[in-house]
Structure 1
Amino acid sequence: MHKKLLILHKELLTKRFIEKYDENNPFISTHSNPSSAELEEILETIGIESDIFETKATYIDSSLLEKRHKVVYGERSDLDKEDFLTTFKIIIDLVEEYKTLLVNAADNKIYMRGGVHGE
């Protein structure tokens, strides 16, 4: 069994994969709702393990998405300037951290390695 796995692994290392993007069937989908679980799944899909959303998961999944849904569906929102600025800062900080993880993973070609963190 191990020999078969090693042979398959060797074949996969030399195989060139050409995938075409299909908008109706994307490789990674947020299902229109960028929840903390969806964002973590994207990282895991490309081999990155991180807990950057752990401390903000409740905020993202309840407060942020709730406000998003109200805006999308035309409901009144009680969002004031201070709430907006706080939300904006949290989102920008998360996006920056997320971007850094993705850029570092691309620079280090983590997506080409087997397992999380290239293990």
Structure 2
Amino acid sequence: MNLSIVAALAYGILALIGGIIGYIQAHSQVSLLSGTISGLLLIFAAYFQFQGQNWALILAVGVTVVLVAFFAFRLAKTRKFMPAGLMIILGTLALAVMVNQLVSFQ
């Protein structure tokens, strides 16, 4: 198992849990829906990467880029580190691992 699988799986679980926490704390159905969809997409991407499907790494990179961009806009708007700042930092780390793996495939 390579690090891009671990990164996609960890960030997916974090997004999923974050969506659930956002719903519990703020009753935000948008947080629940977006966290569930993005988290499950990343978990599925990790699973298919483990199965040897190269397209899954591209999916994981795409979802992670969208999440990092979303949380960057959210941090700029709210100026609150939690949860946006944490998700940007962890997403950037996950993205660096995934892009490194993607470049090594080429």
TMscore range, shorter length: 0.3 to 0.5
Structure holding more helix per residue: 2
**Which of the pair has more CA radius of gyration?**
1
Name the TM-score, length of structure 2 as normaliser: 0.36
Name the TM-score, length of structure 1 as normaliser: 0.34
